[in-house]
Amino acid sequence: MSTAFSMAPLFRSSVGFDRFNDLFETALRNEPGSTYPPYNVEKHGDDQYRIVVAAAGFQEEDLDLQVEKGVLTISGGKRDANEDVTYLYQGIAQRAFKLSFRLADHIEIKAAGLSNGLLSIDLLRVIPEEAKAKRIPINGTQKPALQ
């Protein structure tokens, strides 16, 4: 049975939302291993968001954050193994990981910090003036020229 379905009905009354098709495909794809480490995505107001990643055992130099083409990538891995320690039991997972988050338009990363084993990334939606809603006057005596 195929899990693909047509997105055409969603796009009948929209213009310029081609990226939504990619978002749906990504959401429907079952990617094993994408749940480590656990994380939260929080909303703190109309335009403020925070991603909190449980990064127990990692230090700042073990973590890397990058934004490229609207995708935030968080990766982590232990760089130096401690040769002086022999683990009798190791229950704290410190394996390498990579998390990716597709950011909506006009989302900027404002800050990132590591405290008490939690990596917090603060995001803010900053809508430029040219993207804000504008009232369009209707002039009944002229026909608008199409160009």
**What are the pLDDT digits (tens) for 30-87?**
555 567 899 999 999 888 999 999 998 889 999 999 999 889 999 998 766 667 888 8
What is residue 10's predicted lDDT score, i.e. its pLDDT? Answer: 57
Query: How deeply is 109 buried, as exposed, middle or buried, from its count of CB atoms within 10 A (0-12, 13-18, 19+)?
Result: middle
Cα(8)–Cα(17) distance, rounded to whole angstroms? 11
> Looking at per-residue confidence, does 142 or 71 come out higher?
71
What is residue 60's predicted lDDT score, i.e. its pLDDT? Answer: 92
- Rounded percentage of the chain residues whose pLDDT exceeds 90: 34
> Looking at per-residue confidence, does 125 or 90 come out higher?
125
What is residue 63's predicted lDDT score, i.e. its pLDDT? Answer: 94
Structure tokens at 110: 């404002």
CB distance 67 to 51 below 8 Å: no
* Residue closest to 40 by CA, chosen among 101, 109, 125, 105: 101
CA-to-CA dists, residue 77 to 88, 94, 121, angstroms: 21, 7, 18
When pLDDT is averaged across residues 21-30 and rounded to a whole number, the result is 59
pLDDT band at 22 (very low <50, low <70, confident <90, very high): low
Domain ranges of the chain: 36-78+89-127
When pLDDT is averaged across residues 15-28 and rounded to a whole number, the result is 57
Q: What letter does residue 72 receive in the DSSP assignment?
A: E
What class does CATH assign to 36-78+89-127? mainly beta
Q: Three-class SS of residue 62?
A: helix
CB distance 144 to 126 below 8 Å: no
CB distance 109 to 125 below 8 Å: no
What is residue 5's predicted lDDT score, i.e. its pLDDT? Answer: 61
Structure tokens at 142: 């002229």
Cα(74)–Cα(124) distance, rounded to whole angstroms? 17
The model's pTM is 0.67
What is residue 18's predicted lDDT score, i.e. its pLDDT? Answer: 55
pLDDT reading at 98 higher than 90: yes
